[in-house]
Structures are given as C-alpha cells and as structure tokens.
Amino acid sequence: MSQCRDENESDGHGHGHSHGDHDHDHDHDGPDRGAEESLFSQINQENVRCLNESEPGAGKKVIKPWHERNDTTKYVESDADEQLIFFIPFTGSVKLKSILIKGGPGDSCPAKLKAQVSADVQTC
C-alpha cells in the first residue's frame, strides 16, 4: 500500500499533497473499485423504466454491470426531446456514492442530471 494511502486510510476521501517538486490531488480508489462498490445487483431490473426512449426497452439495457460499462452497443436515445427520465428501483436501502454516465460521440451526451430519492412508482 502506498505511503500516501497509509497516511489517510481512515479518511475515506481524496486529498492533496506534495511529492518533491510537484503537488497533486487524488482519491484512493483503484481502477477496480467500481466493480467492488457496484450496486448493479441491488437494482430491481424488471421494474427499471425509461420515459421518452425512442426504442422500447432501450433504457433497461443501458443499466449494465461494471464489466459491461464500455459496451457501446447498448444505448438509449430520446424519441421526443432531449430529455430521458429513468426510474431505477433498488431491492432495498442503498448508499449511492456515484453514478457513471457514458455519453456518445460528439454532442450526444447529457448536459444535466437530476436525481430524486424515493420517487413514487406511479409517476413513471
């Protein structure tokens, strides 16, 4: 384990410091940390819904396990405007730390994300 990580193992967050002639900020999450902390198995896949999707069911397909995150064959596009509304139910209580959204080429990526906790199932 690195000295930097040893110094702040209990912090649970990133920090900045100096190494000789340069400074930098970083966190302590390794490249495989996403697989360890993925909530994919906690998502109620059958009840995932997407409003405004151009192809029915495409919204469900983009909710993928960590090892499929770079698969660009699964994507969703809006049929009416530039807005997609996802309802992603969990099977129990979870602690959401981050969300990975991968946009497409050029300007085909989200400009905003709004998240609601405990949204009513009937609204979707």
Q: How is the chain split into domains, by residue range?
A: 31-91
What's the distance, CA 66 to chain centroid?
Answer: 10
**pTM score:** 0.66
Question: Which of 55-59, 93-97, 113-117 shows the highest mean pLDDT?
Answer: 55-59
pLDDT of residue 102: 86
3-state secondary structure of 35: helix
Could you count the other beta carbons within 10 Å of the beta carbon of residue 28? 16
Query: How many C-beta neighbours within 10 Å does residue 55 have?
Result: 12
Adjacent-strand bridge partners of 24: 17
b/e burial code for range 30-50 (CB count within 10 A of at least 16 → b): eeeeeeeebbeeebeeeebeb
| Residues 86-96 pLDDT 10s | 999 999 999 98
pLDDT tens figures, 6-51: 444 444 444 444 555 555 554 555 666 777 889 999 999 999 999 9
CA distances from 74 to 10, 12, 25, 35 (A): 38, 33, 34, 19
